[in-house]
Structure 1
Amino acid sequence: MTITESVTPTTDWVAAATAVGTALAEGVAERDGSGELSLAAYDLLRSSGLSRALVPAEAGGGGATHREMGDALRELGRHDPSTAVAFAMHTHLVALQVWRHRHGMDASAVFEKVVAGAILASTGASDWVESNGSAVKVDGGYRVSARKAPASGCEAGTVAVTSIRWDDAPDGPQVLHCAIPLSAPGVSVEKTWNTIGLRASGSHTIVFDDVFVPDAAVSLIRPADLWPPILNSVIGAALPLVMAAYLGIADRSVELVAQLLRGRTEPHMVALAGEMMNAYTTATDLIGAMFTDADNLRFPNTDAHAARTLSRKTVVADSLVATVRLAIETIGGAGYSRALPLEMWYRDIHGCLFHPLPRAKQTRFTGRVLLGHSPLG
């Protein structure tokens, strides 16, 4: 399917997401089958203003709030889950820069790139604290090599926001945080994403093969095996946005149940619908609480804020999965059929379980913080 539309820029970000989602919706099933990312979707996200919506107005962006961006991702997730989740990766990186801006740090270089049309590709899922890859110090910068997966939307990306392990640093193993153009010599994308859900998110592997990274592209050098406070700000900025994209899938699932079963009175069906709504309400309310506590990206950079956000993420993920499962169960045998989109939504919704941190790692993190320890240990 070829998408040729453009979307007029607006400051009604949900309306913009509706327009983009509507343009993409017809090809969702086809892309789910092929596993191909919609590159045209990113043209629409640029032309609508959504790709730069979070950039402050004074920096040339749309001036959207954190919550408004979450609402837009939620709306996009109602139409095209794979694109919504992949786009949330770009969006959360912009949100981190807004957090830095709100705390008196200079984010102008990134803002300029995003306003000019850059799409940021995150490798955070494979980086986390220890990171991977290798870096060698050379004149003016570093030569780096690594494989980073999954990197959602990387085929449409222009800049990889990544980190590289530097084991031979003078003061012991370090991690370099850096931005690398995906057009740089030695950078390639290996198409490795082949999953049961979110198949069209383009979450492939970015390969860095002896890539030169100038000193100016390195934003942070930190010890490799200690908890870095920067990740507290990433967690607080990113997770509300990412989970909002998945909430759009739950929205559609609940709406489909209401549409197909309106007026039915069978006791078991009514009870299952009520149980579904318990899970859905839990997810919706907790995502709202995540945005409230994020305080439009003014939240404090503390282990406690990160731990609370991660606890909410785990409960939200469980509740979102339960919502779609119960939608299938409430509808009955027809819900198990591929004639309805529920089976795709059920595959897609499971992606929320794997964003940092999965349950076992989250409970350890949150428990350690509660008991007065570093999150790592």
Structure 2
Amino acid sequence: MTAPPASATEHRPGAPALRVPDLGRLPAVTEALAARAAEHDRDASFPAEGFVLVQDAGLLTATVAARHGGSGAGLADTVRILRALGAGDPAVALVTAMTLFTHAAEARTPGWPPAAYAALLDAAATGPALVNALRVEPELGSPVRGGLPATTARRDGDRWLLTGRKIYSTGAVGLSHLLVFARTEEDPVRVGTFVVRAGSPGLTVEPTWDHVGLRASRSDDVVLDSVPVPLGDTIGLAEPGEIPGARPDPETGAWNALGLTALYLGVAGAARDWLTNFLHQRVPTALGAPLATLPRFQTAVGEIEAALFGADTLVDTLAARVDSGDPEGAEQAGAVKVLGTRAAITAVEQAVALTGNHGLTRANPLQRHYRDVLCARVHTPQDDSVLLTTGRTALDRAIARSTDGPHRKATDS
């Protein structure tokens, strides 16, 4: 990746320049993150120093558009970044992913209030400025499956006052900006995203996150009690039937699906690396040679390696197609997420089965990789939604073929 042209950095005269992403530093960043990942997992502590490393390498703002002074990284570079960070510390990778996705969406379809986005970029030029969308609620669940948020925004002069509770708010304690999905107390009601700055009055993070996997992500509850937001700091206020982002457009969905799949493939890659080292080091007395010399283990590692190679290749290939503007590539991203995350989970499960008690011992990282990779199933789009859509598309395609020309019925001999 090369630096943006000089003219691209002149959008904010006098403002600090964004760092240029250095993908050559990814191996070192991965190693540094991995060195403290077990500690943060054990304590469920937010890995703040990890984001400093990512920021210092210019990775947190890699997807900022050139017109805003960024390098405008596409999805292909983003999956490369997230795979490497996922191998080091998936909690750092996940919050980084949310930040990268936010900048990428703004690059494609501007929606932020200009002053608010400029403030975010100024903060991002001097330190980690993490952003995430807070959408999930106790009753609503994820809005992608429909429904209005319970979080409300009440007009109060030249500001909104937000009240509600968001759950599973990944990275909440470290966010610079929180993008809160809420409905207005108007008639008719409007629904959209409100840009909340960290430290705003009435904003509280409750430490409720006690998860098996991604413990360091600190996906806690966020409570809003009449939190003030400037009147113009909203994104896409619309009628409930036209909620922007409730069901992502294909390209936004592809970024989410492929980016997160790459992250969990990074976790699986780290598990594979630990496994191969273990098999070389483990020398049972009865064998008198490393387990790595046995054909049974060689074949098992071959299964893992082939599955991960195939999944990585699928993700990389489709990411490049999305960057090229291929609409079919974007539409196929959900199916690749199903295939890729299943490959990642299965690979780590196989590694655990091969190593027995060693793999489940807390002193070894494999059990952590296993707990973390299981979280791949949680993210939107979830498997059931993807498979339902994919199946319906295939069935509709069969009907279209049957009406386009001569055909034989499935019951014909």
Same fold (TM over 0.5): yes
1:280 aligns with 2:308: yes
1:243 Cα deviation from its structure 2 partner: 2.0
Residue number in structure 1 paired with 2:363: 339
CA shift in 2, pair 1:107/1:210, >3 Å: closer
1:144 aligns with 2:151: no
Counterpart CA distance in 2 for 1:196 and 1:279 is 25
> Aligned Cα RMSD in Å?
3.0
CA shift in 2, pair 1:226/1:56, >3 Å: closer
Q: Which moved more, 1:348-357 or 1:70-79?
A: 70-79
Residue number in structure 2 paired with 1:45: 54
Greater Rg, structure 1 or structure 2?
Answer: 2
Once the two structures are superposed, residues 105-134 of structure 1 have per-residue CA deviations (whole angstroms, 9 ceiling, x without a partner) of 788553652353232122245443435222
Residue number in structure 1 paired with 2:197: 181
Residue number in structure 2 paired with 1:155: 173
1:268 aligns with 2:292: no
Percentage identity across paired residues of the two chains? 25
Gaps of 5+ in 1: 1-7, 373-377
Residue number in structure 1 paired with 2:79: 70
| Matched AA of 2:208 | T
The DSSP-based 3-state class of the residue aligned with 1:145 is: strand
1:231 aligns with 2:248: yes
Residue number in structure 2 paired with 1:3: none
TM-score by length of 2: 0.76
Note if contact 2:213-2:371 (Cα within 8 Å) is conserved in structure 1: yes
The DSSP-based 3-state class of the residue aligned with 1:164 is: strand
Match of 2:234 among 195, 211, 218: 218
TM-score by length of 1: 0.83
Gaps of 5+ in 2: 1-17, 137-141, 281-289, 397-413
1:343 Cα deviation from its structure 2 partner: 0.6
Note if contact 2:180-2:194 (Cα within 8 Å) is conserved in structure 1: yes
The DSSP-based 3-state class of the residue aligned with 2:316 is: helix
Residue number in structure 2 paired with 1:196: 212
Note if contact 1:123-1:148 (Cα within 8 Å) is conserved in structure 2: yes
Counterpart CA distance in 1 for 2:239 and 2:390 is 22
| Matched AA of 1:277 | E
1:165 aligns with 2:193: no
After superposition, residues 12-31 of structure 1 pair within 5 angstroms as 12-15=22-25, 17-31=26-40
Counterpart CA distance in 1 for 2:112 and 2:130 is 19
CA shift in 2, pair 1:52/1:100, >3 Å: same
Total equivalences in the alignment: 356
CA shift in 2, pair 1:137/1:294, >3 Å: same
Match of 1:208 among 224, 241, 254: 224
1:267 Cα deviation from its structure 2 partner: 4.1
